[in-house]
Amino acid sequence: MTVTTRPGGESVLARIVADVRRELALRMTTVPFSQVEARAAAAPPPRDALPALRGDGLRVIAEVKRRSPAKGPLAPIPDPGALAGRYVAGGAAAISVLTEPNWFAGSPADLTAVRTAVEVPVLRKDFVVDPYQVWEARALGADLVLLIVAALDAPTLRSLLGQVHSLGMTALVEAHDQAEVTRAVEAGARLVGVNARDLRTLRIDMAAFAALAAGIPPDVVRVAESGIRGPADAAAYRAAGADAVLVGEAVVTSPDPAAAVAALAAAAATEAR
């Protein structure tokens, strides 16, 4: 795949984060932090996601995802809650919800709909760069928040991770190379995702997880992300040490989302850790 940058060399990730910061600045002037804080305080307590994502077999985090920068439109998803319910019926251990509007066609309303529909842990998947977004996630009922190492400097990563933990949530800290895995672990991550897709270039490297898994301590839950086309890929990730896989396109485009999730989990159900 050709490296996806602007002529000046700006990566896809940098462009997404710039858009997120503009949207965030507008939201922060429209909805004062005091309101977000009050909503977060009134939200039901967060679910503990770590036990749900580790155990015998492979756990599946199924994603509510309408589009992606790499593939464009994936599915219209008129009822995110109903889709999440089908994922859970197929055995999904958690649901990931894209809330970024410009590149992924997501919204906070999608997360609210999913939270209302299912009892499993729910991940707010967005480009979190400010504590305001962490409090937003809690106000929406999220149990997990995505933190992308490549989008954050070390002090900001550590600060946001501490904020997530202080609100009782779990951070899925996403890395794509050894330096980022090291930063995630040193910051105190308890849940580390290795993304086979480098968000700066949109390139996929299916060997990334196997190459990096050994650098993740055994007490940290390991998630393999991206590039999962079906059960064979899920089984390969499990054999390489994944506790869970995060899957979007393969399940959201399936005519039978419940069966797609069940097949992914079953493919590696008996693999030894």
Residues designated catalytic: 63, 65, 125, 174, 195, 225-226
Q: Are 65 and 104 in contact (CB under 8 A)?
A: yes
- Which of 241, 27, 250, 211 has the alpha carbon at shortest distance from 136? 27
- Beta-carbon contacts of residue 241 (< 8 Å; ≥ 6 apart): 209, 210, 213, 214, 216, 222, 273
Q: State which amino acid sits at residue 94.
A: A
- Cα distance between residue 142 and residue 134, in whole Å: 9
Q: Are 243 and 52 in contact (CB under 8 A)?
A: no
Q: State which amino acid sits at residue 11.
A: S
| Tokens representing residue 54 in the block | 């580790």
Half-sphere exposure of 203 (CA within 13 A, CB side): 13
- The CA–CA distances, whole Å, from 268 to 93, 228, 230, 240 equal 14, 13, 11, 11
- Cα distance between residue 92 and residue 94, in whole Å: 6
